[in-house]
Amino acid sequence: MLKQIEGSLGIAEAVALCRPGAICAYPISPQTHIVENLGKMVKTGQLQDCEFLNVESEFSAMSVSIGASAGGVRAYTATASQGLLFMTEGIYNAAGLGLPIVMTVASRAIGAPINIWNDHSDSLSQRDSGWLQLFCESNQDALDTHIMAFKIAEEVGLPVMVCMDGFVLTHAFERLDLPSQEQVDQFLPAYEPREFLDPKEPISMGAMVGPEAFTELRILQQRKMLKAIPIIERVTKEYREITGHHSGGLLDCYNCENADVKLIIMGSTVGTAKDAVDELKAQGINAGVISLKAFRPFPYDEIRAAIGDTKNVVIVERSFSYGARGILHPEVSRAMRGKDTNIYTAVCGLGGRAILGTTIKGIVKHCLDGKFCDELTWFDVDSKVINSYLKDAEGITLPEGPLPESVLLDTLQKVRA
């Protein structure tokens, strides 16, 4: 059913269609509207056989979800940023216990300095938590991905984080096509937990495992992650067949045939980039967009196939790794091992700075003009702002325009000497 609604409400409706048994809420922007809507649905009775808990922290939100999931019902919660970090211990725990919890991360920057706006530093900080991490490029994609996430989580036996850009998607009011309850029920059968606490068959979950079996346990956990790749593909296929929605998947290519440069992007920037690429095409510039949906597990083979023989690839990232470089870069490099593809990282859109069509076009042109001299380049940098500080503090001035990391390194000459 078509509706013109806020993204958050769309997610809430989608989650409700999945018949969860427990929903936990702790308010942190920008995910609040999702749980607000779910709370209302439980209260009005729209969502039956489900309890909604207002908890005192994200740590408890995750913990209650762990308990509910271990108790044998579908558990859902949502978080972002500081909240995600506050529940980190529980996040790792849920994965280790193999509990198929689904959680929305309305991606947002991490403080200090406190910043409520979108980037990907929160979600990506959980890279090694053992959760599946699925990114969404639009609200329709996010809505559909949530429904698929329950099925994937339950089949794989691991929790799934659905990552959607905070505010940009969560607060956007858009046309959304909600599948019917019948369609969802057909797609997602009633929950049958793999294991749960039941007085009829008592088990002890969460044992202490020492060196004698820890490695093996981790190998099996990794195997589950790897198994998730074909499962995501299959589940996506099933879902698309039932709904006709072209959502989910491991990745999605746009305008990639014969592209001279391919951008790898996660999240809502993909839509902006598609428009930009279309505009470039009108100018005779051939750029493609690879929308990366599955960050964990990482689809190495699919990325390699998607890039193909294209010589230039730019990863557009809304985060990076301090003291290192882009977070996706090593993964893409691994995927392309043995090929002479030029892989660059463009970092932009941190802490809510808008990524505009012009940003994307600039990156494409920068690449095709051969201006990428380093692995990582910062785009949309306001050199006035940075220089106003650096000039006084260290007598250094940075140039205007895209900032390659080598420029930053050059400013350290004095320190080296």
CB of 362 to another protein, least distance (A): 13
CB of 279 to another protein, least distance (A): 10
Q: Residue 165 interacts with another protein (CB under 8 A)?
A: yes
Assign residue 98 a region (left: φ > 0; alpha: ψ between -120 and 50; beta: otherwise).
left
Q: Residue 120 interacts with another protein (CB under 8 A)?
A: no
CB of 118 to another protein, least distance (A): 8
CB of 360 to another protein, least distance (A): 9
Kindly tell me which of 227 and 339 has the beta carbon lying closer to another protein: 227
Kindly tell me which of 68 and 403 has the beta carbon lying closer to another protein: 68
Residues 292-351 that bind another protein (CB under 8 A): none
Stretch that binds another protein, among 66-74, 148-156, 180-188, 300-308 (CB under 8 A): 66-74
CB of 48 to another protein, least distance (A): 9
Kindly tell me which of 267 and 402 has the beta carbon lying closer to another protein: 267
Strand boundaries in 234-359, DSSP class E: 251-254, 261-265, 287-292, 294-296, 312-317, 342-347
State the Cα angle at 239 between 237 and 240, rounded to 5°: 65
Residues 230-259 that bind another protein (CB under 8 A): none
Among 195, 233, 260, 374, binds another protein (CB under 8 A): 195
Rounded distance, CA 375 to CA 237, Å? Answer: 36
Kindly tell me which of 76 and 372 has the beta carbon lying closer to another protein: 76
Q: Residue 4 interacts with another protein (CB under 8 A)?
A: yes
Q: Using the Cα atoms of residue 359, residue 365, residue 368 and residue 370 in order, give the sign of their dihedral.
A: negative
What is the secondary structure of 107-140 as a DSSP string? E---PSSP--S--SHHHHHTTTSS-EEEE-SSHH
CB of 275 to another protein, least distance (A): 5
Structure tokens at 193: 């937990």
Stretch that binds another protein, among 20-28, 280-288, 297-305, 398-406 (CB under 8 A): 20-28
Q: Residue 401 interacts with another protein (CB under 8 A)?
A: no
Could you tell me if 98 and 20 are in contact, meaning their C-beta atoms sit under 8 angstroms apart? Answer: no
Type and span of the H or E element at 160: strand 160-165
Tokens 């930009």 sit on residue: 276
- What are the C-alpha distances in Å from 77 to residues 24, 48, 104, 193? 5, 17, 7, 18
CB of 271 to another protein, least distance (A): 3
Give, to the nearest 10 degrees, the angle between helix 357-368 and helix 269-282.
60
Rounded distance, CA 70 to CA 204, Å? Answer: 11
Q: Residue 216 interacts with another protein (CB under 8 A)?
A: yes
Among 27, 180, 217, 301, binds another protein (CB under 8 A): 217
Q: Residue 196 interacts with another protein (CB under 8 A)?
A: yes
Among 205, 305, 324, 412, binds another protein (CB under 8 A): 205
Rounded distance, CA 46 to CA 166, Å? Answer: 26
Tell me which DSSP letter residue 178 carries.
P
Taking the CA of residue 223 as centre, how many other CA atoms within 13 Å lie in the half-sphere pointing to its CB?
Answer: 6
Kindly tell me which of 252 and 405 has the beta carbon lying closer to another protein: 252
Kindly tell me which of 65 and 312 has the beta carbon lying closer to another protein: 65
Rounded distance, CA 304 to CA 380, Å? Answer: 29
Kindly tell me which of 243 and 272 has the beta carbon lying closer to another protein: 272
CB of 168 to another protein, least distance (A): 5
Q: Residue 172 interacts with another protein (CB under 8 A)?
A: yes
CA dihedral 53, 197, 84, 356 (to 10 degrees): -90
Cβ within 8 Å of residue 363, ≥6 positions away: 263, 314, 316, 346, 348, 379
CB of 311 to another protein, least distance (A): 26
Stretch that binds another protein, among 61-69, 148-156, 315-323, 364-372 (CB under 8 A): 61-69
Q: Residue 400 interacts with another protein (CB under 8 A)?
A: no
Among 120, 274, 293, 296, binds another protein (CB under 8 A): 274
Kindly tell me which of 197 and 251 has the beta carbon lying closer to another protein: 197
